[in-house]
Amino acid sequence: MHSVAVLAYDGMSGFESGLAAEIFGMHDLSAAFSAGIPTPWYSVKLCSEKPEVRMLGGATVRTSYGLADLAAADTVVIPSVRDTTTSSSPALIEAIRAAHQRNSRLVSICSGAFALAEAGVLDGRTATTHWIYVDLMQERFPEVDVDPTPLYVDGGNVLTSAGCAAGLDLCLHIVRSDHGAHVANDVARRLVIAPHRAGGQAQYIESPVPEPTTDGQIAGGMAWALANLDSPITLDELAARSSLSRRSYLRRFAKATGTTPIKWLITQRIQASLALLESSDLSIEQISARVGFDSAVTFRHHFVRALRTTPSEYRSCFTGRVLGA
């Protein structure tokens, strides 16, 4: 049976370690049974440096598995680290290195990437972590190519994911890789989560617009644009709605928002499309028109640049179907 070791440590949150234990510890799946996959399919062990660890919220966890068990596992999950600014314990780093030398699969969730980086297993690789830790990780570990955008990065036997919830996506991805989409979809149904979010999908869309802007004229033009996203909107129209010349409008808009009117408008159109993709049966062409793009091709281009996935792939995460691909 494939063994999965999940790290436990003082000060840990139960969510990251719990989601890994839940997914890999799940059994009696109808899809797995029909596919002839024995259940339980993974042997899950919660491993720590000492027999008892304290969790956030005051709970105490006791485990009979130590770092030797972690080093010997087929898959090692580092759900997070206690402090991203300080070093992990030498014993943990040695256990990670030992597992890596055995060609174990190493998996990090959120800040767990810091422990993998400290062990040297991310050197020369592309990896991700929660976007709030990206700058610090790049500063501490310059040999790692830290990508702030994806939900997770599959590097073969070393996999890293973004924030805590992205760990669900990565663990499902691992189940899908091990046992196929049918079984992974069954797990997702049990957990009532999206059956698949592509790893390259962006963690979030960063909107550079402060809310609200203190410039009343600029705010008025922005409000008008948001109410008319389904129509073509030109720079001259925006300037006129703000009662400013084109040159003054560009200068005032940049000062108020930190971006250009066109970039802001594209971001708002993408944001408006998300609800339609998630809940409507409109085709991609119809949605692109509803949010003001001049063609579906233009819509797809800007959508992929913003979210690192296509509108159809994004929709399938919420609906399980692809319409108007």
pLDDT of residue 133: 95
pLDDT of residue 187: 85
Instruction: List CB contacts of 86: < 8 A, sequence separation 6 or more.
Output: none
- Residue 293 confidence class, pLDDT cut points 50, 70, 90: very high
Quick: pLDDT tens for 152-166: 999 999 999 998 888
How many CB atoms lie under 10 A from the CB of residue 1? Answer: 9
pLDDT of residue 219: 84
188 or 170, greater pLDDT: 170
Instruction: Decide: residue 91, CB within 10 A, 0-12 exposed, 13-18 middle, 19+ buried.
Output: middle
Quick: pLDDT tens for 113-126: 999 999 999 999 99
Grouping H, G, I as helix, E, B as strand and the rest as coil, residue 261 is: helix
Average pLDDT over residues 321-325: 39
* Nearest residue to 116 via CA among 50, 133, 25: 133
Is residue 108 within 8 A of residue 140, CB to CB? The reply is no
258 or 87, greater pLDDT: 87
Query: What is the number of alpha carbons within 13 Å of residue 261 lying toward its C-beta?
Result: 26
CA 38 to chain centre: 30
Average pLDDT over residues 222-230: 89
pLDDT of residue 315: 82
- Token look-up 């399980």 returns 320
Average pLDDT over residues 56-82: 95
DSSP 70-98: HHH-SEEEE---S-TTSPPPHHHHHHHHH
- All domains of the chain in start order, with CATH: 3-191 (3.40.50.880), 216-317 (1.10.10.60)
Whole-number percent of the chain with pLDDT over 70: 89
Range with top average pLDDT, 116-125, 163-172, 201-210:
116-125
The Cα 51–Cα 225 span in angstroms is 59
- Residue 145 confidence class, pLDDT cut points 50, 70, 90: very high
pLDDT of residue 211: 46
Quick: pLDDT tens for 3-54: 999 999 999 988 888 899 999 988 777 766 676 776 678 999 999 999 999 9
- Residue 321 confidence class, pLDDT cut points 50, 70, 90: very low
Is residue 122 within 8 A of residue 113, CB to CB? The reply is yes
Query: What is the number of alpha carbons within 13 Å of residue 93 lying toward its C-beta?
Result: 12
According to DSSP, the residues that pair with 106 across neighbouring strands are: 76, 158
- The answer, yes or no, to whether the previous bond of 232 is cis (omega within 30 of 0) is no
- Residue 203 confidence class, pLDDT cut points 50, 70, 90: low
pTM score, whole prediction:
0.67
According to DSSP, the residues that pair with 231 across neighbouring strands are: none
pLDDT of residue 325: 37
At 229, the amino acid letter reads: L
Residue 254 has pLDDT above 50, yes or no: yes
